Amino acid sequence: MPHDTDATPDTPWTRRPAHRAWLADQADRLWRFFEGAADSAGGFHTLDTEGRPRPGDGFRDIHDTTRMVHCFALAEIAGRPGAAPVVEHGLRFLRDAHRDPDRGGWLWSARADGARRGRKTAYGHAFVLLAGASAARAGHAAGRDLLDEAAAVIDRHFWDEAAGALREEFEPDWTEIRGYRGQNSNMHMVEALMAAHRATGDALFLTRAERIADLIVNRLARATGWRLGEHFDEDWQLDRGYRGDPMFRPAGITPGHGLEWARLLVELDRATGGRPWMIEAAKGLFARALALGWDADRGGIVYTVGWDDRVEIADRFWWPVCEGIGAARALTPHLPEAEGWYRRLWDLAATRFIDHRHGGWHPQIDAEGRPSSDPFFGKPDLYHALGACLVG
C-alpha cells in the first residue's frame, strides 16, 4: 500500500493514495465475497454470515437480483475478471424469471422454475432500470435491451407527468394499488435515471430525475425544514401518521434516506450543469439527517425518527452509515465539516460493521456495538457497502 508521507492532518482522506488503495481493497473484498452467490438453478442465493447460501424456498426478490447485476457491472467496468458471467447470469434471471412475458413489467419475487409472486412496484422497476443501465455501460447488449424495455414500462405505467414523479404499485395485471405515493421508490428512480442518462445520453432521463428531485426535496422537504417525508397520498400531501411495512415503508422519518438524497443531489447538480438549489438542499438534508439520526453515545445512525424528532426505531443498520459516507464525500468540497463526518463514519464502519474475518458487512449492531440479527440476517447484499467504497 502506498504511503502518504506528504499528507497533513487537513489533507482529505480521498486525496491520500493510501486511503484510496484501502477503498479499492474493500471493494475487491466485497466483490470476492459475493461473486459465489450465483445459484446454478437461476438467480442469486442470499448469504449467511460466512458467505454460504441461506436456506429458503428458491424465490428471489427483484432488488437482490438487480443489485447484483448493477454491482458486478461496475466490477466489469473496473476491469475485474469474472464479473461479466455474474452480470449475464443475473440478466438471464431478470428476463426468464422476474419478467412477466404476457403483460410486461417485472414481478417482485421469482423462482427458477417460472413461479412468480408479488406486485409490480416502482421501487423494483427503478432497480431494473439501474441494472440495465449499468450492464449496458459494461457492454452487454442484453443490458441495453433491459434498459430500453424498463424505460418503456416505466413511461407507460409508473410515470405521472402531471406530478413529475412515480405512481407506486400495481397488481400483476396492471390494476393500480391506489392511495399511496412514496419517496423511497422515487429516490431510487433518480439514481436509475441518472445511470440511464450516462448509458444513453438521452436528456429525458435527466429531466425526469430533476423533476422528481424538485418535488420531493426542493418543495416538500424544504417545507418541513429538510425533514425528508417518506409517505404521501395521491396528491402528494404528506401523511405523517402513515404506519406501513417496517422494512420498506417505516413510519416517520428515515435519516439514512436524507443522507442518500444528499449524495444524489450533488451527483444530479453535476450532471445537470448546476442548479442553484441542489447543493443548498444537499447541505440541509445532510445536516438535518445527522442531527436527527446520529447516536452520539453509541455511534451509528438510528433507523427512524418521529415527526416530533424523537427516536422511534433505534436499531443501527449498515446502510445509513454507507450512505452517510457517500454524502460526506460528495459534500466535502462544499461543506467544511463533511470531511470530519467522512472520517468518523469510516472509523465506525471499520471497527463495527466490516466483517474482517468472513467478508462483507454486518447488517446491524446491538446496544453494545456487536453484530446482531433481525430484521436482517446473514449478509443481505453488497449494494450500499460497495457504493461507499466507490465514492469518487
Return per-residue pLDDT of the chain as tens, 392 residues.
666 666 788 899 999 999 999 999 999 999 999 999 999 999 999 999 999 999 989 999 999 999 999 999 999 999 999 999 999 999 999 999 999 999 999 999 999 999 999 999 999 999 999 999 999 999 999 999 999 999 999 999 999 999 999 999 999 999 999 999 999 999 999 999 999 999 999 999 999 999 999 999 999 999 999 999 999 999 999 999 998 888 889 999 999 999 999 999 999 999 999 999 999 999 999 999 999 999 999 999 999 999 999 999 999 999 999 999 999 999 999 999 999 999 999 999 999 999 999 999 999 998 889 999 889 999 988 999 999 999 86
- φ, ψ of residue 203 in degrees (nearest 5): -70, -20
Cα-Cα-Cα-Cα torsion 33, 37, 38, 43, nearest 10 degrees, comes to -130
**Residue 378 CB neighbours (<10 A):** 18
**CA distances from residue 302 to 287, 317, 349, 365 in whole angstroms, order as listed:** 15, 7, 14, 11
Strand order in the sheet with 364-365: 302-305, 311-317, 364-365
Residue tagged active-site, from 63, 197, 257, 362 = 257
Considering the entire predicted model, what is its pTM? 0.97
CA distance 216 to 134: 25
Q: What share of the chain is helix, strand, coil (3-state, %, to 5)?
A: 50, 10, 40
What pLDDT is attached to residue 3?
63
CATH of domain 16-389: 1.50.10.10
Place of cell 432521463: 205
- φ, ψ of residue 316 in degrees (nearest 5): -115, 110
**Residue 39 CB neighbours (<10 A):** 15
What pLDDT is attached to residue 266?
98
Q: Cβ(230)–Cβ(184) under 8 Å?
A: yes
CA distance 84 to 127: 19
Indicate the pairing of strand 364-365 with strand 311-317.
antiparallel
Sketch the domain layout of the chain as residue ranges.
16-389
In the chain, what is the greatest distance between 2 CA atoms, to the nearest angstrom? Answer: 62
Checking phi first, is residue 174 left (phi over 0); if not, alpha (psi -120 to 50) or beta? left
What pLDDT is attached to residue 7?
78
What pLDDT is attached to residue 364?
96
Q: Where are the beta strands (DSSP E) in 123-238?
A: 159-160, 165-166, 169-170, 181-182, 231-232
Asked if 188 is an active-site residue, the reply is no
What pLDDT is attached to residue 2?
67
Residue tagged active-site, from 45, 89, 188, 384 = 384
What pLDDT is attached to residue 256?
98
The alpha carbon of 98 is separated from its chain's Cα centroid by a whole number of angstroms, namely 20
Asked if 384 is an active-site residue, the reply is yes
Using alpha carbons, select from 121, 235, 125, 124 the residue that is nearest to residue 169.
121
The length of the chain, given as a count of residues? 392
Checking phi first, is residue 276 left (phi over 0); if not, alpha (psi -120 to 50) or beta? alpha
What pLDDT is attached to residue 370?
92
What pLDDT is attached to residue 5?
62
